[in-house]
Amino acid sequence: MNTNNTSLVQNLLEPGITISSSKEYTDSDIIIINGVYKVPFTEDSIPKQQILIPKQIVLAVTRNANYKALKPFSDVVVFKDDVHDDGKYSSGKFTINVFDYVEFNGAGDYYVLCSLGKYLSNIINVTIE
């Protein structure tokens, strides 16, 4: 999981948010999404207070007729060490077990999308059999 995060951070050259899933952590009870973000402080859709930024991450999940969209970290305490500030951008990492936040599970094709402000992540497709 740490290796995935490191490669994601290194690859995030442009502002945005990127997610990936770990197949070894995917089964009927668990879909783990690893994500990284890097957003400019000057962007209107991003909170100016850095520790508020992770709270604005949105998770959107669909599977056939089921869907759920929420801010999974809205009630999570964020510490200063959880975010990185290089003066121009705020960046950080996150991990989500999708089934901790959606009421539906089981077999099917899941599509997972994250967003942060105006930035949309790539879409992850996970098939659970």
Footprint of other proteins on this chain (CB under 8 A)?
44-45, 55-56, 58, 60, 62, 67-71, 74-75, 109, 111, 113, 115, 117-120, 123, 125
The nearest distance, CB 120 to other proteins, in angstroms, is 5
Element at 101 (helix H, strand E) = none
The nearest distance, CB 47 to other proteins, in angstroms, is 8
User: Tokens in use for 103?
Assistant: 């009421």
Q: What is the DSSP letter of 30?
A: B
| Nearer Cβ to other proteins (6/75) | 75
Count other Cβ atoms within 10 Å, centred on residue 50: 19
The nearest distance, CB 61 to other proteins, in angstroms, is 10
| Nearer Cβ to other proteins (113/128) | 113
Give the span between the Cα atoms of 72 and 59, in whole angstroms. Answer: 7
Give the span between the Cα atoms of 25 and 50, in whole angstroms. Answer: 30
| Nearer Cβ to other proteins (6/64) | 64
Closest by CA to 53, choosing from 33, 32, 73, is: 73
Half-sphere exposure for 84 (CA within 13 Å, toward CB) = 9
| Nearer Cβ to other proteins (1/40) | 40
User: Tokens in use for 33?
Assistant: 């999404």
The nearest distance, CB 2 to other proteins, in angstroms, is 27
